[in-house]
Chains A and B, each alone.
Chain A
Protein backbone atom coordinates (compact mmCIF):
# COMPACT_ATOMS: atom_id res chain seq x y z
CA UNK A 1 0.00 0.00 0.00
CA UNK A 2 1.39 3.38 -1.04
CA UNK A 3 1.62 6.20 1.46
CA UNK A 4 -1.02 8.88 1.13
CA UNK A 5 -0.07 11.20 -1.70
CA UNK A 6 -0.91 14.88 -1.54
CA UNK A 7 -2.61 16.14 -4.69
CA UNK A 8 -2.29 19.69 -6.05
CA UNK A 9 -5.25 20.71 -3.91
CA UNK A 10 -3.51 19.37 -0.80
CA UNK A 11 -6.10 16.63 -0.31
CA UNK A 12 -4.90 13.04 -0.04
CA UNK A 13 -7.09 10.60 -1.92
CA UNK A 14 -4.77 7.60 -1.82
CA UNK A 15 -6.45 5.34 0.73
CA UNK A 16 -4.39 3.81 3.49
CA UNK A 17 -6.80 0.96 4.23
CA UNK A 18 -7.51 -1.58 1.48
CA UNK A 19 -11.10 -1.33 0.27
CA UNK A 20 -11.46 -5.10 0.23
CA UNK A 21 -10.70 -5.36 3.94
CA UNK A 22 -13.12 -2.56 4.82
CA UNK A 23 -15.76 -4.25 2.67
CA UNK A 24 -15.25 -7.56 4.51
CA UNK A 25 -15.60 -5.85 7.89
CA UNK A 26 -18.82 -4.17 6.72
CA UNK A 27 -20.10 -7.48 5.37
CA UNK A 28 -19.94 -9.00 8.87
CA UNK A 29 -23.09 -7.02 9.64
CA UNK A 30 -25.97 -9.14 8.33
CA UNK A 31 -28.18 -6.09 7.74
CA UNK A 32 -25.71 -4.28 5.47
CA UNK A 33 -26.18 -5.73 2.00
CA UNK A 34 -25.01 -3.35 -0.72
CA UNK A 35 -22.81 -0.27 -0.75
CA UNK A 36 -21.72 2.03 -3.57
CA UNK A 37 -18.01 2.38 -4.39
CA UNK A 38 -18.03 6.03 -3.37
CA UNK A 39 -19.69 5.21 -0.04
CA UNK A 40 -17.11 2.47 0.53
CA UNK A 41 -14.36 4.99 -0.21
CA UNK A 42 -15.90 7.39 2.33
CA UNK A 43 -16.19 4.73 5.05
CA UNK A 44 -12.55 3.79 4.54
CA UNK A 45 -11.42 7.43 4.56
CA UNK A 46 -13.58 8.16 7.63
CA UNK A 47 -11.90 5.32 9.50
CA UNK A 48 -8.52 6.87 8.72
CA UNK A 49 -9.69 10.25 9.98
CA UNK A 50 -11.16 8.67 13.10
CA UNK A 51 -7.90 6.87 13.94
CA UNK A 52 -5.96 10.11 13.44
CA UNK A 53 -8.44 11.90 15.68
CA UNK A 54 -8.17 9.22 18.38
CA UNK A 55 -4.37 9.19 18.14
CA UNK A 56 -4.26 12.97 18.57
CA UNK A 57 -6.54 12.93 21.62
CA UNK A 58 -4.60 10.03 23.17
CA UNK A 59 -1.33 11.86 22.59
CA UNK A 60 -2.74 14.91 24.39
CA UNK A 61 -3.54 12.73 27.41
CA UNK A 62 -0.04 11.19 27.32
CA UNK A 63 1.58 14.65 27.15
CA UNK A 64 -0.58 15.85 30.07
CA UNK A 65 0.63 12.90 32.11
CA UNK A 66 4.23 13.60 31.02
CA UNK A 67 4.57 10.29 29.20
CA UNK A 68 6.42 9.59 25.97
CA UNK A 69 4.49 6.42 25.14
CA UNK A 70 0.77 6.26 24.42
CA UNK A 71 -0.74 3.30 26.25
CA UNK A 72 -4.20 1.79 26.68
CA UNK A 73 -5.03 4.01 29.68
CA UNK A 74 -4.40 7.14 27.60
CA UNK A 75 -6.75 5.87 24.87
CA UNK A 76 -9.44 5.08 27.46
CA UNK A 77 -9.09 8.56 28.94
CA UNK A 78 -9.28 10.17 25.48
CA UNK A 79 -12.43 8.17 24.68
CA UNK A 80 -14.03 9.16 28.00
CA UNK A 81 -13.45 12.84 27.26
CA UNK A 82 -15.18 12.75 23.85
CA UNK A 83 -18.89 12.02 24.30
CA UNK A 84 -19.67 10.72 20.75
CA UNK A 85 -16.74 8.30 20.87
CA UNK A 86 -17.55 7.23 24.42
CA UNK A 87 -21.07 6.25 23.35
CA UNK A 88 -19.93 3.46 21.04
CA UNK A 89 -16.33 2.67 21.97
CA UNK A 90 -15.72 2.78 25.73
CA UNK A 91 -17.39 -0.57 26.50
CA UNK A 92 -15.59 -2.24 23.59
CA UNK A 93 -12.08 -1.31 24.70
CA UNK A 94 -10.11 -3.81 26.81
CA UNK A 95 -10.64 -3.19 30.55
CA UNK A 96 -7.94 -1.33 32.49
CA UNK A 97 -5.32 -3.56 34.07
CA UNK A 98 -6.17 -3.74 37.80
CA UNK A 99 -3.55 -4.70 40.39
CA UNK A 100 -4.42 -8.03 42.01
CA UNK A 101 -5.58 -7.65 45.63
CA UNK A 102 -3.80 -9.97 48.10
CA UNK A 103 -5.93 -12.37 50.17
CA UNK A 104 -4.21 -11.54 53.46
CA UNK A 105 -2.72 -8.24 54.58
CA UNK A 106 0.83 -7.74 53.45
CA UNK A 107 3.73 -7.42 55.88
CA UNK A 108 4.91 -3.92 56.78
CA UNK A 109 7.42 -2.49 54.38
CA UNK A 110 10.16 -2.35 57.01
CA UNK A 111 10.22 -6.12 57.56
CA UNK A 112 10.26 -7.97 54.24
CA UNK A 113 9.57 -11.69 54.35
CA UNK A 114 12.79 -13.59 53.75
CA UNK A 115 13.42 -17.15 52.71
CA UNK A 116 14.36 -19.44 55.61
CA UNK A 117 18.14 -19.74 56.04
CA UNK A 118 19.90 -23.02 55.21
CA UNK A 119 20.24 -25.61 57.98
CA UNK A 120 23.06 -25.07 60.40
CA UNK A 121 23.26 -21.31 59.97
CA UNK A 122 22.54 -18.88 62.80
CA UNK A 123 21.17 -15.36 62.72
CA UNK A 124 23.72 -12.60 63.21
CA UNK A 125 21.76 -11.08 66.11
CA UNK A 126 21.51 -14.40 67.95
CA UNK A 127 24.60 -13.44 69.94
CA UNK A 128 22.70 -10.61 71.67
CA UNK A 129 19.71 -12.71 72.69
CA UNK A 130 19.20 -14.76 75.86
CA UNK A 131 20.10 -18.37 75.22
CA UNK A 132 17.02 -20.48 74.68
CA UNK A 133 16.98 -23.81 76.47
CA UNK A 134 16.51 -26.90 74.38
CA UNK A 135 14.82 -28.86 77.20
CA UNK A 136 11.38 -27.41 77.89
CA UNK A 137 11.38 -28.96 81.40
CA UNK A 138 14.31 -26.76 82.36
CA UNK A 139 12.48 -23.72 81.16
CA UNK A 140 9.65 -24.36 83.69
CA UNK A 141 9.93 -22.35 86.93
CA UNK A 142 10.75 -24.54 89.97
CA UNK A 143 7.86 -25.53 92.20
CA UNK A 144 9.66 -24.68 95.48
CA UNK A 145 10.10 -20.93 95.73
CA UNK A 146 13.00 -21.39 98.15
CA UNK A 147 14.96 -23.19 95.48
CA UNK A 148 14.23 -20.47 93.03
CA UNK A 149 16.13 -17.85 95.06
CA UNK A 150 19.78 -17.69 94.11
CA UNK A 151 22.29 -17.73 96.96
CA UNK A 152 23.10 -14.26 98.22
CA UNK A 153 26.76 -14.95 98.91
CA UNK A 154 28.42 -17.16 96.38
CA UNK A 155 31.47 -17.70 98.62
CA UNK A 156 29.28 -18.82 101.49
CA UNK A 157 27.54 -21.21 99.20
CA UNK A 158 30.84 -22.69 98.17
CA UNK A 159 31.90 -23.11 101.82
CA UNK A 160 28.78 -25.03 102.69
CA UNK A 161 29.22 -27.47 99.89
CA UNK A 162 31.34 -30.49 100.85
CA UNK A 163 34.88 -30.44 99.55
CA UNK A 164 36.27 -33.78 98.47
CA UNK A 165 39.16 -34.86 100.66
CA UNK A 166 42.03 -36.78 99.28
CA UNK A 167 42.45 -39.70 101.64
CA UNK A 168 45.73 -40.86 100.32
Chain B
Protein backbone atom coordinates (compact mmCIF):
# COMPACT_ATOMS: atom_id res chain seq x y z
CA UNK B 1 0.00 0.00 0.00
CA UNK B 2 1.36 3.41 -0.96
CA UNK B 3 1.84 6.17 1.60
CA UNK B 4 -0.87 8.26 -0.07
CA UNK B 5 -3.39 5.55 0.79
CA UNK B 6 -2.73 5.50 4.53
CA UNK B 7 -2.93 8.00 7.37
CA UNK B 8 0.28 9.85 8.29
CA UNK B 9 1.95 7.76 10.98
CA UNK B 10 3.44 10.76 12.77
CA UNK B 11 -0.05 12.19 13.27
CA UNK B 12 -1.49 8.81 14.30
CA UNK B 13 1.31 8.49 16.87
CA UNK B 14 0.59 11.96 18.21
CA UNK B 15 -3.19 11.42 18.49
CA UNK B 16 -2.71 8.05 20.22
CA UNK B 17 0.06 9.16 22.59
CA UNK B 18 -1.84 12.31 23.51
CA UNK B 19 -4.80 10.17 24.54
CA UNK B 20 -2.66 7.59 26.37
CA UNK B 21 -0.94 10.29 28.42
CA UNK B 22 -4.36 11.25 29.77
CA UNK B 23 -5.40 7.63 30.43
CA UNK B 24 -2.84 6.64 33.04
CA UNK B 25 -2.29 8.49 36.31
CA UNK B 26 0.87 6.75 37.52
CA UNK B 27 2.93 7.07 34.35
CA UNK B 28 2.76 7.42 30.60
CA UNK B 29 1.89 4.31 28.62
CA UNK B 30 4.01 3.71 25.53
CA UNK B 31 2.96 2.12 22.23
CA UNK B 32 4.74 -0.72 20.45
CA UNK B 33 5.61 -0.45 16.76
CA UNK B 34 3.11 -3.10 15.64
CA UNK B 35 0.38 -1.44 17.72
CA UNK B 36 1.08 1.89 16.04
CA UNK B 37 0.72 0.24 12.63
CA UNK B 38 -2.53 -1.34 13.79
CA UNK B 39 -3.87 2.06 14.93
CA UNK B 40 -2.99 3.58 11.55
CA UNK B 41 -4.67 0.71 9.69
CA UNK B 42 -7.71 0.91 11.99
CA UNK B 43 -8.14 4.60 11.16
CA UNK B 44 -7.98 3.89 7.44
CA UNK B 45 -10.54 1.08 7.71
CA UNK B 46 -12.81 3.32 9.79
CA UNK B 47 -12.75 5.98 7.03
CA UNK B 48 -13.80 3.36 4.46
CA UNK B 49 -16.49 1.97 6.73
CA UNK B 50 -17.96 5.36 7.62
CA UNK B 51 -17.85 6.77 4.09
CA UNK B 52 -19.39 3.60 2.62
CA UNK B 53 -22.23 3.74 5.16
CA UNK B 54 -22.77 7.47 4.54
CA UNK B 55 -22.73 6.82 0.78
CA UNK B 56 -25.45 4.17 1.13
CA UNK B 57 -27.61 6.61 3.12
CA UNK B 58 -26.96 9.28 0.48
CA UNK B 59 -28.01 6.93 -2.35
CA UNK B 60 -31.17 5.95 -0.48
CA UNK B 61 -32.10 9.64 -0.46
CA UNK B 62 -31.43 9.71 -4.24
CA UNK B 63 -28.64 12.27 -3.90
CA UNK B 64 -25.18 12.39 -5.42
CA UNK B 65 -23.22 14.32 -2.79
CA UNK B 66 -22.53 12.99 0.72
CA UNK B 67 -23.46 15.71 3.19
CA UNK B 68 -23.28 16.33 6.94
CA UNK B 69 -26.58 14.59 7.70
CA UNK B 70 -25.43 11.45 5.89
CA UNK B 71 -22.31 11.30 8.07
CA UNK B 72 -24.31 11.83 11.28
CA UNK B 73 -26.80 9.12 10.29
CA UNK B 74 -23.92 6.82 9.36
CA UNK B 75 -22.40 7.27 12.83
CA UNK B 76 -25.74 6.38 14.41
CA UNK B 77 -26.08 3.37 12.14
CA UNK B 78 -22.56 2.14 12.89
CA UNK B 79 -23.30 2.55 16.62
CA UNK B 80 -20.95 5.41 17.44
CA UNK B 81 -23.49 7.87 18.86
CA UNK B 82 -20.97 9.08 21.46
CA UNK B 83 -19.16 10.93 18.66
CA UNK B 84 -22.20 13.02 17.71
CA UNK B 85 -21.98 15.69 20.42
CA UNK B 86 -18.27 16.52 19.98
CA UNK B 87 -18.71 16.42 16.19
CA UNK B 88 -21.65 18.82 16.22
CA UNK B 89 -19.67 21.22 18.41
CA UNK B 90 -16.67 20.95 16.06
CA UNK B 91 -18.91 21.52 13.04
CA UNK B 92 -20.34 24.70 14.57
CA UNK B 93 -16.84 26.06 15.08
CA UNK B 94 -15.86 24.99 11.56
CA UNK B 95 -18.85 26.86 10.11
CA UNK B 96 -18.08 29.98 12.15
CA UNK B 97 -14.49 29.90 10.98
CA UNK B 98 -15.55 29.47 7.34
CA UNK B 99 -18.12 32.26 7.62
CA UNK B 100 -15.39 34.54 8.95
CA UNK B 101 -13.12 33.58 6.06
CA UNK B 102 -15.83 34.23 3.48
CA UNK B 103 -16.58 37.62 4.99
CA UNK B 104 -12.89 38.48 4.88
CA UNK B 105 -12.67 37.37 1.23
CA UNK B 106 -15.70 39.44 0.15
CA UNK B 107 -14.36 42.46 2.07
CA UNK B 108 -10.96 41.94 0.49
CA UNK B 109 -12.45 42.17 -3.00
CA UNK B 110 -13.60 45.75 -2.36
CA UNK B 111 -10.24 46.87 -0.97
CA UNK B 112 -8.18 44.97 -3.54
CA UNK B 113 -6.77 47.95 -5.54
CA UNK B 114 -5.60 49.68 -2.35
CA UNK B 115 -4.19 46.51 -0.75
CA UNK B 116 -2.27 45.45 -3.84
CA UNK B 117 0.14 48.36 -3.51
CA UNK B 118 0.57 47.79 0.23
CA UNK B 119 1.18 44.05 -0.02
CA UNK B 120 3.61 44.33 -2.92
CA UNK B 121 6.88 42.69 -1.94
CA UNK B 122 5.34 40.91 1.07
CA UNK B 123 4.94 37.14 1.19
CA UNK B 124 1.38 35.91 0.63
CA UNK B 125 -0.62 34.82 3.67
CA UNK B 126 0.00 31.14 4.38
CA UNK B 127 -3.55 30.32 5.38
CA UNK B 128 -5.10 31.91 2.31
CA UNK B 129 -2.67 30.16 -0.01
CA UNK B 130 -3.41 26.76 1.46
CA UNK B 131 -7.14 27.40 1.12
CA UNK B 132 -6.79 28.19 -2.57
CA UNK B 133 -4.64 25.12 -3.06
CA UNK B 134 -7.41 23.01 -1.60
CA UNK B 135 -9.94 24.53 -3.97
CA UNK B 136 -7.70 24.08 -6.98
CA UNK B 137 -7.22 20.46 -5.89
CA UNK B 138 -10.95 20.06 -6.34
CA UNK B 139 -10.76 21.65 -9.76
CA UNK B 140 -12.94 24.57 -8.72
CA UNK B 141 -12.71 28.31 -9.13
CA UNK B 142 -12.56 30.05 -5.74
CA UNK B 143 -14.51 33.03 -7.07
CA UNK B 144 -17.44 30.93 -8.25
CA UNK B 145 -20.78 31.54 -6.60
CA UNK B 146 -23.51 29.11 -5.61
CA UNK B 147 -23.14 26.98 -8.74
CA UNK B 148 -20.51 24.70 -7.22
CA UNK B 149 -22.01 24.51 -3.75
CA UNK B 150 -23.39 21.28 -2.37
CA UNK B 151 -26.84 20.76 -0.98
CA UNK B 152 -25.68 21.88 2.44
CA UNK B 153 -24.33 25.13 1.04
CA UNK B 154 -20.62 24.30 1.25
CA UNK B 155 -18.08 23.37 -1.42
CA UNK B 156 -18.17 19.84 -2.79
CA UNK B 157 -15.24 17.54 -3.36
CA UNK B 158 -15.33 15.47 -6.51
CA UNK B 159 -13.44 12.33 -5.52
CA UNK B 160 -13.24 10.89 -9.02
CA UNK B 161 -10.93 13.31 -10.81
Contacts and interface: CB of A to CB of B under 8 A. Distances in A.
A34, A88, A94: most-surrounded residue (chain B CB, <10 A) = A34
A25 B5 contact: yes
Contacts of B79: 83-84
Contacts, number: 227
A36 B98 CA distance: 14
A21 interface: yes
B: interface residue count bin: 35 or more
Contact of A59 (B29, B52, B71, B154): B29
B132 to A, nearest CB: 14
A13 B14 CA distance: 16
Interface in B23-41: 23-24, 27, 29-32, 34-35, 37-39, 41
By secondary structure, the B interface counts as helix
Contact of A22 (B31, B34, B47, B65): B47
A79 B44 CA distance: 15
B41 A70 contact: no
Contacts of B15: 16, 48, 51-52, 55
A42 B88 CA distance: 9
B152 A55 contact: no
Interface stretch (B89-97, B103-111, B113-121): B89-97
B40 to A, nearest CB: 9
A16 B39 contact: no
Given A42-B68, A59-B23, A75-B35, A50 B46 contact: yes
Contact of B51 (A17, A26, A59, A93): A26
Interface magnitude class on chain A: 35 or more
Interface in A1-46: 1, 3, 7, 9, 11-13, 16-29, 31-43, 45-46
A1 B10 CA distance: 10
A13 B90 contact: yes
A31 B43 contact: no
Contacts of B72: 42
A37 B75 contact: no
Nearest 6 pairs between A and B by C-beta? A84-B79, A36-B150, A27-B159, A13-B93, A59-B23, A55-B19
Interface of A: 1, 3, 7, 9, 11-13, 16-29, 31-43, 45-56, 58-60, 62-63, 68-72, 74-75, 83-84, 88-89, 92-94
Given A36-B154, A55-B19, A68-B27, 19 more contacts: A13-B90, A17-B8, A17-B43, A27-B159, A32-B66, A35-B51, A36-B157, A37-B150, A38-B91, A38-B152, A39-B68, A41-B91, A47-B50, A51-B16, A51-B39, A52-B18, A70-B30, A88-B78, A93-B42
